[in-house]
Structure 1
């Protein structure tokens, strides 16, 4: 990973994290098809705090390591080398994204009530935006869950699904459409809702192929759910703006964590290629295996580079960084899948068995092409932005290059008569 750009203290944290993951977390990983039990998670989180690697993205005032976002990747990749590493270090979705947004948007009282226990690992959270069709999914403008202003607060009614982490969460950040009031425009508003609120009903689980997110992806119902005015996160009507504060970095941190797992998968495949012999040669010396290994290295390095660029943009130009996070999400989700898929192929029958963890890895990363916005939706947005940039460039004076007859001949006959030995009369002008 791009540790050559890391400040000394960040590189030191990366090395501590690497040592902790490999010496403490890997031996504690659950077996194939099993989940990390809550008591083991708490034990490992205590060890992470003692090792000084807990909550790398959280400000030090709330018990974290205080890293700036442009340096998260090196640490998150080390955490992601184990499927349970991000949970142990308390930088797993959806809590990590919620912590980031709460730190930027929440009031001081909300930070003490919601961010602090979340950052300390004594609470979990969820983020409720996705809805059953025809509600909000890849298109957030289709939001159907609604909040109505009443005396002293708001009532929320709606049905959410794929509410990752909801089972066992202590609170939920709910996105709801809100009409215009005296103090706010119509739009969407985010609310902090305790999960023990009598207006909240945890629904059926959606059984998916991934297992790493504690609390699953259940339905959640809000029925005349009353919340006080101080439950509004930020300002009413600005929910979509705050969503971008959360979703851009959250897409990128998924890339970081899963890229760590891709590195683990390639290491497993490399070990296999080193020891396995076929047709009288080590597997590592066979051209087909070398091609798969090389392509995987290329996928990992290009993913690492785009993550690094996007992280720095999010730190310095958040709007540009949010746009670039779509590019990173699409590239990394597809590249990481390819790395793990090739690793399985290199390992043959063992790759699809419980003897190696690779099959469970591919189950974890496959949904990433859908979660946080389907790749097709991101590609649509990427294309639209590219077209808009080009239109703006042409409008500002850059030449329009699409039509051949509008492109000037760079070698006009009047001034560039070709001479022997490749020289021209105009050569002195260059």
Structure 2
């Protein structure tokens, strides 16, 4: 099947404007912001959001109904890469995880009242949100291990359980909470999504977890639910179909992660090339040395291969396919390839690369967890292999 990825003029213009915005506004803010953003400087976020709106680059993924550009995934791949050149770029356009994925989920599943109460302010950048799924000894890579429960009451539902590594929870206005509403631990299905205000009585933020990546706005929190009461209006979609809705956001969100990190990796390559051109050792520029040229070339290969996989998978998702195999392959390859790009870039820069005089060491810390977030590489490989074996056996039987 032939496939082309030619950009329409409007998307190409938006990507160029995004590049200008990130270079002129966001990267200077990044340099001033300090290392850790776990406790979230809300004034910084609002300043960036306002600037993005003034530049006309805010909300490429936001539905046009809410003032966004409403781009397809394939269009977003080019625009988000430019936004991702800075750790703060996605934050400025409300495209950071988990808000970007939650906007997509709410747009597809929320009812009219929920769209106005939750989606409208989130899409406008007035508030942040979180997706409350992962548990310390339960649901994570295996959603059937969900232990947080939601039981019916006279006034709706009562939620009990402990969640952890809930990204962006600190300072978020609301969370999309996944809890077991039927069945027992290990059973397939039986989970429901609830829209829960973060100031609801009984919902406690136990801590913001110290982690390798410090540039994640709002950090990663541990949350405790103790008899948290919500009404029937809080149910997102239908009861017991929460895992089905999780799939709505999961594949596209994995791809938007890849888009954003592509920007960081491309910027790392450019920093390394600039250093290689300027630095002289043993009577020659670094860029003229064969070993350095190999590092640069391998970076180019990983970047281009990552884009090719990403674009193909985005086109598949845009066509309406679930693309579970493609998203697993792309997420696994891109997360590892981009890590190699940043690692090689540091190697080219030497001592400068591990200093804070460049952002490379920070990028390295921020990118490393991507091999774990949204499914560890090992889990994706297990799923990829299982599908390959299943396909082979089916073909052999039918042949």
Tell me the TM-score normalised to structure 1 length.
0.88
Q: Structure 1 residue 186: deviation in Å?
A: 6.3
1:149 alignment partner, SS class = strand
| 1:306 aligned residue | 309
| 1:129 aligned residue | 133
Contact 2:176 2:196 (8 Å CA) reproduced: yes
Aligned partner (choices 25, 39, 42) of residue 38 of structure 1: 42
1:219 alignment partner, SS class = strand
Q: Matches of 2:89 and 2:66 in 1, distance apart? A: 20
Alignment of 1:65 onto 2:69: yes
Superposition pairs of residues 102-181 of structure 1, within 5 angstroms:
102-133=106-137, 135-179=138-182
Q: Structure 1 residue 38: deviation in Å?
A: 2.1
Aligned partner (choices 179, 196, 199) of residue 199 of structure 2: 196
Q: Matches of 2:8 and 2:352 in 1, distance apart? A: 41
Q: Structure 1 residue 3: deviation in Å?
A: 10
Alignment of 1:53 onto 2:57: yes
Contact 1:156 1:223 (8 Å CA) reproduced: yes
Give the paired residue count. Answer: 390
Q: Structure 1 residue 379: deviation in Å?
A: 0.6
2:31 alignment partner, SS class = coil
Q: Structure 1 residue 373: deviation in Å?
A: 1.2
Q: Matches of 1:127 and 1:396 in 2, distance apart? A: 42
Q: Matches of 2:41 and 2:178 in 1, distance apart? A: 30
| 1:22 aligned residue | 23
Aligned partner (choices 86, 90, 94) of residue 86 of structure 1: 90
Q: Structure 1 residue 4: deviation in Å?
A: 5.5
Contact 2:176 2:193 (8 Å CA) reproduced: yes
Contact 1:314 1:322 (8 Å CA) reproduced: no
Q: Matches of 2:240 and 2:378 in 1, distance apart? A: 28
Q: Matches of 1:365 and 1:68 in 2, distance apart? A: 25
1:92 alignment partner, SS class = coil
Structure 1 unaligned runs (5+)? Answer: 398-430
Q: Matches of 1:154 and 1:4 in 2, distance apart? A: 47
1:163 alignment partner, SS class = strand
Q: Matches of 2:103 and 2:193 in 1, distance apart? A: 14
- The CA RMSD measured in Å over matched residues stands at 1.6
Q: Matches of 1:371 and 1:186 in 2, distance apart? A: 22
| 1:373 aligned residue | 375
Aligned partner (choices 185, 194, 213) of residue 210 of structure 1: 213
1:237 alignment partner, SS class = coil
Which runs of at least 4 in structure 1 moved beyond 4 Å after TM superposition?
Answer: none
| 2:324 aligned residue | 322
Q: Matches of 1:322 and 1:123 in 2, distance apart? A: 31
Tell me the TM-score normalised to structure 2 length.
0.95
Q: Structure 1 residue 275: deviation in Å?
A: 0.6
Q: Structure 1 residue 24: deviation in Å?
A: 1.6
Q: Matches of 1:70 and 1:283 in 2, distance apart? A: 36
Relative contact order (alpha carbons < 8 A, sep ≥ 6): 1 or 2 greater? 2
Give per-residue Cα distances to partners, 1:28-74, cap 9 Å, x unaligned: 21345253732122112111111111011011111211111221110
1:296 alignment partner, SS class = helix
Q: Matches of 2:190 and 2:387 in 1, distance apart? A: 23
1:306 alignment partner, SS class = helix
Q: Matches of 1:89 and 1:364 in 2, distance apart? A: 19
Q: Structure 1 residue 392: deviation in Å?
A: 2.1
Q: Structure 1 residue 23: deviation in Å?
A: 1.6
Contact 1:249 1:322 (8 Å CA) reproduced: no
Q: Which has the larger radius of gyration?
A: 1
| 1:407 aligned residue | none
Q: Matches of 1:328 and 1:379 in 2, distance apart? A: 11
| 1:332 aligned residue | 334
Alignment of 1:388 onto 2:390: yes
Alignment of 1:75 onto 2:74: no
